[in-house]
Amino acid sequence: MKTGRGFASDNNSGILPEILKAISEANVKHAAAYGEDPWTRKAEEAFEHYFGDGIAVYFVFNGTAANVLSLASCTQSYEAVLCSEMAHIYEDECGAPEFITGCKLIPVEPIQGKLTPEKLLPKIKGTGNQHHVQPKVISISQSTEFGTVYEPAELLALSRIAKENGLYFHMDGARISNAAVSLGLTFREFTREVGVDVLSFGGTKAGLLGAEAVVFFNEHLANHFKFRRKQSMQLASKMRFVSVQLEAFLTQELWLKSAQHSNQMAKYLKEKIRSMKKLEIAYPVDANGVFAWVPKSILASLQEQFPFYVWQNGEEKDLVRWMMSFDTTQEDIDSFCQLLESKLVSA
């Protein structure tokens, strides 16, 4: 098993030192279980500070749960969720959204990872027809699975479509911190203020240990969420060790530190490889991922030393994904690029 740093996923990184310290500091005496503790209230207050009063926030263990339970709160089993055909909920959650909610996921072709009105609108059909699944949610990822980031105007356009058609608007924010840094905006400005109804707030990819949140801006969707969370086995008994991570993540601005670094490392890698012959950067590098077309012949030898994923197969080149983490270093990238250049000579 390879244990060195590579570029396969920001899930592969460890835990922020400040988070380990926060967990340790919460590990004192006894505290009430299931969220009835002061750490959980402080974490809720931190979310209210960032997103405003009148929200409802609940903590869960992982991103799949955050997404699935968000969608379950918005839908009935005869309804549908419209999402990118490359969305995490469609490609990488083992059918959990459909299994748990009973809903149908309707894939939409993305443009550079993003849903657009032109591609989305034709999929909103059959409303009121008892023979047709009923569209109910537009779900997007911010940042996207291709490392791109929706601008506020793009989000407003999708929100407008949702509201005009009686749909809810869900955001998978597994990498929301990277998006915030890329946009130079507060979390609230590109979530609540553009009409998002429910947000899956990610922490794990930014250096937390099994700590994510579901944030409701449309509060009536949260009416029964505490029961849904318990029934889905996502209510932590020792909640303080989840809550203290999210509280520290926000109040100490660890989200900012983590995302600034990983985004910067992605741009550093982009600049290092953009002049390399036989390589082609596939998408804008908005956040902490770099996608590039690389000759097939050199991939295996590169992956032996620096793990990464092949995203799409081509004829002579494959599309690969290189993800940066809070602990990626310039030395990691320099060593990788040195190896990459040596392999390209004979490709």
Q: Please, are residues 207 and 259 in contact by the beta-carbon 8 Å criterion?
A: no
| Rounded average pLDDT over 308-335 | 96
245, two tokens: 């991570």
| Rounded average pLDDT over 290-310 | 96
195 pLDDT above the threshold of 50: yes
Residue 130: how many other CB atoms lie within 10 Å:
7
If pLDDT is split at 50, 70 and 90, which confidence band does 102 have?
A: very high
Cross-strand bridge partners of residue 172 = 141, 200
Q: What is the mean pLDDT of the chain?
A: 96
Q: Please, are residues 19 and 39 in contact by the beta-carbon 8 Å criterion?
A: no
Cα dihedral angle (99, 101, 103, 105), rounded to 10 degrees? -70
The radius of gyration computed from the CA coordinates of the chain, to the nearest angstrom, equals 21
Q: Please, are residues 49 and 250 in contact by the beta-carbon 8 Å criterion?
A: yes
Q: Which H helix or E strand runs over 251? A: helix 240-251
CA–CA distance, 271 with 269 (Å, rounded to integer): 5
203 pLDDT above the threshold of 60: yes
1 pLDDT above the threshold of 60: no
| Locus of tokens 């911190």 | 177
Closest CA to 208 of 170, 257, 142, 172: 257
Segment 30-51, tens digit of pLDDT: 999 999 999 999 999 999 999 9
Closest CA to 147 of 284, 334, 293: 284
**Structure confidence at residue 2 (pLDDT):** 52
**Structure confidence at residue 5 (pLDDT):** 83
Segment 146-186, tens digit of pLDDT: 999 999 999 999 999 999 999 999 999 999 999 999 999 99
3, with CB counted inside 10 A (0-12, 13-18, 19+), is exposed
CA–CA distance, 155 with 241 (Å, rounded to integer): 34
Distances (CA, A) of 320 to 174, 277, 323, 345: 20, 16, 10, 19
283, amino acid identity:
Y
106 Rama class: left (phi>0) / alpha (psi -120 to 50) / beta: beta
| Locus of tokens 């809810």 | 168
**Structure confidence at residue 275 (pLDDT):** 86
Which of these ranges, 23-27, 97-101, 169-173, 343-347, has the smallest mean pLDDT? 343-347
Cis-peptide into 237, omega within 30 deg: no
Segment 332-342, tens digit of pLDDT: 999 999 999 99
